[in-house]
Amino acid sequence: MIDDAVEFDEIVSVALASKASGPAPRPSVKTQLMARIAQGANVPAGFRLHFDVDDEWQPHPVPGIRMKVLSLNERAGYATLLLDVKPGTRFPAHHHDGDEECYVLSGSVHTLGRRLGPGDFIHADAGTDHAELYTEEGARVLLVVPAHEL
């Protein structure tokens, strides 16, 4: 009886495997899966991790920009975003309803008549008006903005 059950399981397994078709997953799928598994393992309550391999990019209202929401701190009223900005993107002039902080990780951003490169930082107080920003080469920036701007 047990041998019949094992044989049946093997037959079902072979049948299911033969039905699996389509392209093989990209090699990055395994990396992403393992990172997600590790992400949930041994992380104490109150902590959250984001890994570079996580593909959580969302469209930004400005064409040429995509973003990852790294943290939304509703209690303190701010959000931390990672922006990936394509070369040639222009961010229109805007008003700051709340404090905004921008740290350039790679590439460059032109603002206030200056070129900001990797390691450069700009803070804008609430109530200020910002002229157009642009990037010629593209950029990756860490942006901290009021939570209500999401």
Distance separating alpha carbons of residues 82 and 80, to the nearest angstrom: 7
**CATH number of the structural domain 58-149:** 2.60.120.10
- pLDDT tens for 61-78 read 999 999 999 999 999 999
Q: Which residues of 30-69 are buried (b: 16+ CB within 10 A; e: fewer)?
A: eeeeeeeeeeeeeeeeeeeeeeeeeeeeeebebebbebbe
- pLDDT tens for 36-66 read 665 556 788 888 888 888 778 999 999 999 9
* Average confidence (pLDDT) over 99-109: 97
**CB distance 63 to 89 below 8 Å:** yes
**CB distance 49 to 71 below 8 Å:** no
Q: How far is CA 94 from CA 85, 90, 98, in A?
A: 17, 12, 12
**pTM for this predicted structure:** 0.70
Q: Which helix (H) or strand (E) holds 59?
A: strand 58-59
pLDDT above 90 for 102: yes
Domain regions of the chain by residue span: 2-40, 58-149
Beta-sheet pairing, 65-73 with 78-85: antiparallel
CA 142 to chain centre: 10
pLDDT above 90 for 12: no
